Every structure is written in C-alpha cells, then in structure tokens.
Amino acid sequence: MRARVQCDHPNVHVIASDPAAELIRERGGRLYVWLKRGRCCGSVTTLAAATDPPQKTTFRRVDGDERFELYLPTTLSRVPDELHLTARRFPRRVEAYWNGCAWVI
C-alpha cells in the first residue's frame, strides 16, 4: 500500500457566492469538503461538501475565506488552485467545485 503524502501548501483561493457563505454561517460557520469517488462510469471523482463532517474522515482547517471556516481531509495530497462554492435550493445545500469543474482533475 502506498503512503499518502499530506499537502505542503494547504492554502486555496475560495470563491464563494454570498448565498453559499450565508448558508454556511446559518449552519454553524464551518464547511467540510472531501473527495467522493463514484462506483461507476470510470470512477469519476467529485467533491462533496457539508456543514457537518462525515464519519471516518479526519480534517484540518485551511485558510480560505474570512466568512467561514474551511476544512479539508488531512490525507488530501493536493488542493485546487480555486475552490468554487455555490448554494443550491432543493435540497438546500452547498456544492463545491475543483477549479470550477464538477469533477477533480
């Protein structure tokens, strides 16, 4: 098994819409973002985001936006140049995009 290397430059430029930042603040002021790997279609990797951390994942706080606290997995070996955050209405949630893309490349 290959050892995972922790990212040595955990700063990411966060581009959060005002509705997304407001939703994060309403739900406690913390956002957790992690990789989500699909089971079909070539195992596409996307980002998942929530204001509560998922079980069995360890996070670390990273600099990003002064309006809320941002947490990424400790095992993440690289971070995007830009993390785009938008709010969705049904169901009400925050969605995250890696350098503006729906999938991680």
Is the residue at 5 inside a domain?
Answer: no
What CATH number has the domain bearing residue 56?
2.60.300
Is the residue at 8 inside a domain?
Answer: no
Separation between Cα atoms, residue 26 and residue 57, nearest integer Å: 23
SS3 46: strand
Domain of 49 in residue numbering reads as 13-98
Is the residue at 104 inside a domain?
Answer: no
Number of CB atoms found within 10 A of residue 76's CB: 19
SS3 80: coil
- The number of domains in the chain is 1
Number of CB atoms found within 10 A of residue 102's CB: 12
Is the residue at 20 inside a domain?
Answer: yes
Is the residue at 60 inside a domain?
Answer: yes
pLDDT at 64: 81
Is the residue at 105 inside a domain?
Answer: no
Is the residue at 39 inside a domain?
Answer: yes
Is the residue at 79 inside a domain?
Answer: yes
Q: Output the tens digit of pLDDT for each of the chain's 105 residues.
A: 344 444 444 578 999 999 999 999 999 999 999 988 877 766 788 889 999 999 999 999 998 889 999 999 999 888 888 999 999 988 999 999 998 887 775
Q: What is the pTM of this model?
A: 0.84
